[in-house]
Structure 1
Amino acid sequence: MNDVHIPTPIVAQEWDKIDTSVDNEDPQVLSSEQFARYCATIRDLLRAAGLPVQDFDRETPEFLVIDDEELGMRVRLSPDRLANVEITLSEDMAEAFNTVRFASHLIRLFELGRRFRDESTASL
């Protein structure tokens, strides 16, 4: 008998339990209260997807750290709904990649960024 593997859902099932109403609020630059809810919502969505997110117990968690043993991501959110994202690899992971493989992964990340851009401009 063949094993059947069901792919992991792209959107975590727990996401439907998280209030994302801040997405529908104006203005584009968020007030302090809106920004706090925006940051908490993003943190909660990442946690619901099973990521180990640290927010340093801040009232407005605008700086999030997601780390596992070999890969890290630091996200700084801003009230204009922009984000700075830094990805770090452990030394063991970095040593495992040759230049072509490393560049191909960077290209995929950049393509993902383009999809963010394309999806945000498609609704305008």
Structure 2
Amino acid sequence: MTEVRTLPAPIVPHGWGDIDTSVDNEVPELLSEDQLDRYVATVAELLRACGLTVDLDSSDPGNLEVYGAGSTMSLEVDIRDDRSAEWSISGGDELDPGTKALAMAAALARLLAPGDTDG
């Protein structure tokens, strides 16, 4: 008898299938404000489908602020007109003054390292 295995959870949220990503099929046009606006709006919609909160900056059309539910951390993303991006992660005052080196390193490692970092 063949063993039936459970399929792993999908990497891409199911909600992404309902979002129009046709802008990805367009040839990127440098400096095209309309295309950049639609691209940024699509990225924002995809992030919202993941359950994240996304704020768009009306004064900077390529700028997104992304927040996770229950997290004090945020991600600032600057999307350029060539569809490249840079981002930074902010944690606010998440660590108390006098935090021990081990606790500081563990908190930072959790941001980037896979697996258990509790030591």
Give the TM-score band, short-chain normalised: 0.5 to 0.7
User: Unaligned 5+ residue runs, structure 2?
Assistant: 1-6, 115-119
**Alpha-carbon distance, 1:8 to partner:** 5.4
- The structure with the largest alpha-carbon Rg is 2
After TM superposition, the runs of 4+ consecutive aligned structure 1 residues lying more than 2 A away are 6-10, 27-30, 58-61, 94-109
Cα root mean square deviation, aligned: 3.0
Aligned residue pair count? 102
Distance 1:107 1:90 in 2: 17
SS at 2:36 equivalent = helix
**Alpha-carbon distance, 1:79 to partner:** 0.4
% same residue: 35
Distance 1:59 1:90 in 2: 23
Q: Report the TM-score, using the length of structure 2 for normalisation.
A: 0.67
User: Unaligned 5+ residue runs, structure 1?
Assistant: 1-5, 110-124
- Tell me the residue number matched to 2:90: 88
**Alpha-carbon distance, 1:106 to partner:** 5.8
Structure having the larger proportion of residues in helix: 1
Distance 1:59 1:16 in 2: 30
Query: Is the contact between residue 54 and residue 64 of structure 2 (CA under 8 Å) also seen in structure 1?
Result: yes
